[in-house]
Amino acid sequence: MVSARIQPLNVQHVFKGSYVLYILRCLRTKYSAAFSFASERANKSQVPLIALHLYVPEHHNVPQRVFLLEGLKELKESMGSLQVKLLCVKANDNKDALKIALQLCEGACEVVLDAAYLRGDREFEEQLNHMLIERCRKLTRIEGNVSVPINGDLCLGNCLEEACVTFQLSSKSAEWGARTLRPKVWQHLKAMLAEKWEDVPMIPCGNWAKLIKGNIPEMNLEEELKRAQSECKSDSGFVGGETVAQRMLSFFISNELVSYHPGRNIPGSKYQSLLSPYLHFGMISTIEIIKRVKDAKAPKHAIDSFIEELLVRRDLSHNFVYYAKDNYDSLDCLPDWAQKTLKQHKNDKRDYIYTSEELEDARTHDPYWNAAQLEMVHTNKLDCLPDWAQKTLKQHKNDKRDYIYTSEELEDARTHDPYWNAAQLEMVHTNKLDCLPDWAQKTLKQHKNDKRDYIYTSEELEDARTHDPYWNAAQLEMVHTNKMHGYMRMYWGKKVIEWTPDYETAYRFLIEQNDKHELDGRDPNGYTGVMWVFGMHDRAHAERAVFGKLRYMNAEGLYRKYKQTIGEYVRCNYKLAGRKIEGHVEPPKKKDQKPVPQKRTRREEEELSSEGEKQRASSSKSCETQHVGKKKKTEVDGSKPAKGKGEAKVGTKDGTEAKNKGRAKAKK
């Protein structure tokens, strides 16, 4: 087969080996381009197919390990029924994984692997290819976990023994946003949907131990799964595996898709597919999802809205991490305007400052944020460590340290150890926000020192101990269920910017929490979502303290938008954590604040019909920006809004005339 998904990484010929080796990252057999291609190559060489999954526990948080191992257990059975041996091998790190892979490659005719997008996985891929070239082994990468392959022009032929065909794919460089990527992926979607990936191996594997060279320590999936389950204190409710993913999709199409368009952004609503963890581990194909959704009996706007999220937004996140390989997980990748506005407002005064501990514990003034944080986290802290580790930490908690440094001294690399200092300086100088657009980098610099009204520690944030019950609820949701509602993730991220001492601290907290608690942590969607908070794939907005030109979100806007459901969302997630609601579920009014029009996200603007647009435009005039939990007589940024040129007070002669002219135009 000739397909843009098939990407030869070297020009080696097929070796005379005993099997074809498939190094898998996508845990499925249906609609799997890599499994189908590997089967085709094995059939052509008249040899069996051996699949390898390298399990590195440190690459996954504890809930992810349970979910992944459940999926591997099912995959091993399904591959066995197709005469394929799935070898699951535990590795300590990428170096160990590379050693195991090379040992299996020795007896292989050729090697096939699923494409990688994150830095560590791509480095593994590059090192493996380099070593296979030295061993005269052919390596082919299959890009099957995105709707449209990311790479630019691709010539197939040298390695596939077929005519050379050049493909113009979705993008040759990082995209500015959804509007620039959308026409490109839609252009190729029809061709991607038409592809058939149905090959299965024809030669049974038989006694696989005799085929491979050396001894490969196969992992006991049952024991490893029990170990992970004993360490996992949260219950996400998700069960890993291809079969469950199929059932989730069927249920969504039958029951929730019809109301997806208006209901998906409502916190606590059921109108979501909940397929993100399964997509992260490749347990279901985006192509299969799109095909089934397009054939569903649902309103066109609901189908289009869902495909927009799956096709455009998801592929955009993969495009971002692919082309920002070196800094997708740092604020350096933000656009210039975002970096600029963050710097400008870095030192702006914050109304609330929470420590990392307060944020992690969801102890803020905002119940919405707390609910989101609690949703994600719960007990996945040090209590997920083995008993012996927890015991020894407690025993030596108060042992005397020869050196004690403050957080500032550690961050500034001012210790007695020059080696540690060098490593810290390397991280500080390479882990910046330079991947942001220019405007974002500029605004971050300008507002770097803006005063915060609230400062929370990382511990307070992770424990959802802020003044905001909305934020706390989001944090609790993430902790307890290992997933956070999509709209609340945006609010959750924005408030962390407002409640931490600086943008770097906010960024580190968001990345750490996402990777620590989310089932789809360490994923392009997660890194892109965090960077969106700092201006990536967005535009500059009206300038304000702390945020600069970054898009702003507040509790009052959240309450206005979802006042029918947000209270239940908060109560549900606080109940999950066994906590009583702190703060005000309904934000208190501020008498002295002047109206500030609320900004809609670009995604909302694209989705709104013309009638809805008029309604929102008229209602936004009366919107007020308020604070939760801490009353002040100043604006959110600590200053009174400046009047623009020609602006007149309502009730004056000029103001009345302007108002009458506006009414006359409206009547026309």
Render 381-416 in DSSP notation, one character per residue: SGGGS-HHHHHHHHHTTTPPPS----HHHHHTT-SS
The H or E element that residue 348 is part of is strand 345-365
Per-residue pLDDT band for 648 (boundaries 50, 70, 90) equals very low
Can you tell me the distance from the alpha carbon of 581 to that of 248, in angstroms, rounded to the nearest whole number? Answer: 32
Average pLDDT over residues 116-139: 92
Can you tell me the distance from the alpha carbon of 543 to that of 345, in angstroms, rounded to the nearest whole number? Answer: 9
The H or E element that residue 333 is part of is strand 332-333
Can you tell me the distance from the alpha carbon of 270 to that of 408, in angstroms, rounded to the nearest whole number? Answer: 44
Contact of 29 with 242, CB cutoff 8 Å: yes
Residue among 520, 401, 594 at smallest CA distance from 68: 520
Residue among 344, 341, 346, 455 at smallest CA distance from 407: 455
pLDDT value of position 427: 59
Partner residues linked to 155 by β-bridges: 166
In the chain, the percentage of residues whose pLDDT exceeds 70 is 80
pTM for this predicted structure: 0.66
More confident residue, 413 or 180: 180
Give me the amino acid identity at 397. K
Instruction: Check pLDDT > 50 for residue 592.
Output: no
Scanning 536-652, the segments in alpha helix (DSSP H) are 555-562, 566-576, 602-607, 610-620
Phi, psi of 54 (to 5 degrees): -95, 110
Contact of 375 with 570, CB cutoff 8 Å: no
Can you tell me the distance from the alpha carbon of 22 to that of 33, in angstroms, rounded to the nearest whole number? Answer: 12
Sign, Cα dihedral of 30, 31, 34, 39: positive
Place of tokens 């946003």: 177
Domains and CATH numbers, the chain: 1-203+224-323 (3.40.50.620), 329-388+406-640 (1.10.579.10)
Q: How many other C-beta atoms can be found within 10 angstroms of the C-beta atom of residue 262?
A: 15
Instruction: Check pLDDT > 90 for residue 637.
Output: no
Average pLDDT over residues 238-264: 91
Per-residue pLDDT of 165-222, as tens digits, reads 444 455 677 888 888 888 888 888 888 999 999 899 999 888 888 888 778 889 999 9
Average pLDDT over residues 480-508: 93
Per-residue pLDDT band for 654 (boundaries 50, 70, 90) equals very low
Can you tell me the distance from the alpha carbon of 437 to that of 551, in angstroms, rounded to the nearest whole number? Answer: 14
- Structure tokens given for 148: 């449209």
**Average pLDDT value over all residues in the chain:** 81
> What Å distances lie between residue 148 and 122, 192, 311, 523, CA to CA?
19, 7, 8, 17
pLDDT value of position 591: 44
Q: Which of 199-208, 584-593, 643-652 has the lowest mean pLDDT?
A: 643-652
- Structure tokens given for 225: 């799964």
If you count DSSP H runs as helices and E runs as strands, how many of each does the chain have, helices first?
A: 29, 14
pLDDT value of position 627: 35
Per-residue pLDDT band for 292 (boundaries 50, 70, 90) equals very high
3-state secondary structure 261-278: HHHCCCCCCCCCCCCHHH
3-state secondary structure 36-83: HHHHHHHHHHCCCEEEEEEECHHHCCHHHHHHHHHHHHHHHHHHHHCC
DSSP code at position 252: I
Contact of 442 with 340, CB cutoff 8 Å: yes
The H or E element that residue 623 is part of is none
Partner residues linked to 10 by β-bridges: none
**Cβ burial, residue 382 (10 Å; 0-12/13-18/19+):** exposed
Per-residue pLDDT band for 139 (boundaries 50, 70, 90) equals very high
The H or E element that residue 243 is part of is helix 242-251
Can you tell me the distance from the alpha carbon of 464 to that of 473, in angstroms, rounded to the nearest whole number? Answer: 7
Order the strands of the 463-467 sheet from edge to edge. Answer: 447-457, 345-365, 463-467
Contact of 461 with 478, CB cutoff 8 Å: no
Contact of 97 with 56, CB cutoff 8 Å: yes
Can you tell me the distance from the alpha carbon of 509 to that of 500, in angstroms, rounded to the nearest whole number? Answer: 9
Place of tokens 């201006």: 535
Can you tell me the distance from the alpha carbon of 182 to that of 187, in angstroms, rounded to the nearest whole number? Answer: 9
Scanning 272-386, the segments in alpha helix (DSSP H) are 276-280, 286-294, 300-307, 314-323, 336-344, 367-376
Task: Determine what percent of the chain falls in helix, strand and coil, rounding each to the nearest 5.
Answer: 50, 15, 40
Counted residue by residue, the chain has a size of 668
Dmax (CA) of the chain:
94
**Residues whose CB is less than 8 angstroms from the CB of residue 261 and which lie 6 or more positions away in sequence, other chains included:** 299, 301, 302, 304, 305, 306, 607
108-114-116 Cα angle (round to 5): 125
Average pLDDT over residues 505-526: 88
More confident residue, 256 or 398: 256
Q: Which of 146-160, 255-269, 635-649 has the lowest mean pLDDT?
A: 635-649
What are the strands, taking DSSP E only, across 393-527? 434-435, 447-457, 463-467, 470-472
- Structure tokens given for 193: 């949907």
Can you tell me the distance from the alpha carbon of 286 to that of 317, in angstroms, rounded to the nearest whole number? Answer: 14
Can you tell me the distance from the alpha carbon of 507 to that of 535, in angstroms, rounded to the nearest whole number? Answer: 12
More confident residue, 610 or 6: 6
Contact of 372 with 477, CB cutoff 8 Å: yes
What pairing do the DSSP bridges indicate for beta strands 463-467 and 345-365? parallel
Instruction: Check pLDDT > 50 for residue 649.
Output: no
SS3 state at 335? coil
Phi, psi of 419 (to 5 degrees): -70, -45
Per-residue pLDDT of 416-434, as tens digits, reads 887 787 677 655 544 457 7
SS3 state at 178? helix
Residue among 264, 275, 328 at smallest CA distance from 483: 275
CA-based R_g, the chain, Å: 26
